Amino acid sequence: MWHNEACARKHDKFMFAYAKSPSGFASAAARTAPTTWRAWTRHEHHVVEAQALGFNDQEEVIAAFGSCVNIREIVGLAPVIPVLTVTELGTAVPLARALVAGGLRVLEITLGTPVALAAVEAMRKALPDAIVGVGTLTRAVDFAAADRVGAQFGVTPGLTPELAAASRGARFPLLPGVMTPTELITARAAGFNVLKLFPAQQAGGLAMLQALGAPFPDVLFCPTGGITRATAADYLALPNVACVGGSWVAPKAMLSMGDWSGIEALARDAASLRKP
C-alpha cells in the first residue's frame, strides 16, 4: 500500500498510537479533514487525534504524513490532472484556486520554468486541500528539490534505474512515464504498477492502451500528451485508465489575461468527465 518503507513505518507508528489511545480518537474537526489526513490508515473511518503523536493540530499531521498517500489513490481523485506550466509566480495561487474550485484537486506543475518549485510551495501553503505534484522529474536531484517544497507526488517522462532509486528515497509517490511494453515491464519490475503513458498520442493512444490491457491487467494508466477535451472521454472509458493528464484546462491565453473564472469553468467541465 505504501510507496516506500518510510511511509510504512509512519503508518505503523500511527496505528500503534491509535490502539493505545483511551479516547477512541473522535473529533468533529478530524472527520471533516481532507483525504490526506486519513489516507495512511487502512480504513478511512479510523480517524486519529493529532495529539496522539504530539502534534498540535491536524494541519501539522497533514504536513508530516500527508505525502504518504499512494499514487493509486491520487490518480483516483479526479478524472483529469491539469499539467501546468507556471511562468509567473504571481499566477500560481489564483490558478490553483480556480482549478480546485472547479473540482480538480490534483495538480501537476512541470519543472519547465525558473519559478516552478516556488509555485508548488506557494500552492501548497495557500490550498491545503489540493494535491500538488511536480512533473518533468528527469534527474535524481529533482526529487530532492521537489521534496524541499512539499511536493505530494512526482511525475517523470520516463524511468531509469537512477530515477527509480531516487523515488525510493523521496517522501512522495511517483507516477513514472512509459511509452513501450518493454518500458512497462521494466517499470513494473521496479515496483510500479500505476504509470503515465507518455506521450500518449504519439505512443499509440487508445489503441496502445487497449493492446496493453490484456498482457498487463494489473497496470493502471494516466495517459498524458496530446489529449484534449474532445478525446478525454474516450480514454476514460478504458478500464485500465484511471485519469488523464491535460493542459487544456489552463490555456495560455486565459493565463495571460488572468481569466480565473474561465479556467474554473474549464475545470468544472473537465471534472464532469467521470469514468462510466
pLDDT of residue 30: 37
Catalytic residue, chosen from 49, 121, 196, 264, is 196
Angstrom CA distances, 245 to 18, 62, 72, 169, 249, stand at 37, 25, 15, 25, 10
pLDDT of residue 5: 53
pLDDT of residue 275: 74
Are the CB atoms for 91 and 84 separated by under 8 Å?
no
Residues ≥6 apart with Cβ < 8 Å to 247: 82, 83, 84, 85
pLDDT of residue 19: 44
pLDDT of residue 68: 60
Q: Which residue has the cell 482549478?
A: 99
- In this structure, the dihedral spanned by the alpha carbons of residues 10, 15, 18 and 24, taken in order and rounded to 10 degrees, is 130
Rounded to 5 degrees, what are φ and ψ at 201? Answer: -65, -45
Catalytic residue, chosen from 108, 162, 183, 275, is 108
Q: Which domains does the chain have, with CATH numbers?
A: 5-66 (no CATH), 71-271 (3.20.20.70)
- Could you tell me which residues are beta bridge partners of residue 244? 80
pLDDT < 70: residue spans in the chain: 1-68
Which pTM value belongs to this model? 0.80
* The Cα angle at residue 108 between residues 185 and 183, in degrees rounded to 5: 10
Amino acid identity, residue 132? Answer: V
How far apart (Å, rounded) are the C-alpha atoms in residues 33 and 116?
A: 28
For the record, the C-alpha cell of 260 comes out as: 480565473
Are the CB atoms for 270 and 246 separated by under 8 Å?
yes
Are the CB atoms for 242 and 220 separated by under 8 Å?
yes
pLDDT of residue 75: 97
Beta-carbon count within 10 A of 26 CB: 10
Residue 234 three-state SS: helix
Residue 108 appears among annotated catalytic residues: yes
pLDDT of residue 69: 72
Residue (of 104, 200, 224) closest to 210 by Cα position:
200
pLDDT of residue 23: 40
Are the CB atoms for 197 and 224 separated by under 8 Å?
yes
Are the CB atoms for 245 and 227 separated by under 8 Å?
yes
pLDDT of residue 116: 98
